[in-house]
Amino acid sequence: MLQIALGIVMAFGIGAFCRWFDIPSPAPPRLVGALLVVAMTVGFLLTDHLLAG
């Protein structure tokens, strides 16, 4: 649970840092792009879980 909370805090911190210093964000600027990243991550984790079991 601590790792999830730390990941969320880091994600918001990186996003705020990029916005504050006008650095291009490492994340897609649209909802569709963000959903694509989520879908790829879930697919990666699911495949890893299925291959390990």
Boundaries of every domain in the chain: 2-52
pLDDT one-digit tens code per residue, 8-52:
788 788 878 877 888 887 667 788 878 888 888 888 888 888 888
Closest CA to 29 of 42, 15, 41, 9: 15
Whole-structure pTM value: 0.50
Instruction: Give the dihedral sign, CA 36/41/44/50.
Output: negative
With tokens 């999830």, the residue in question is 4
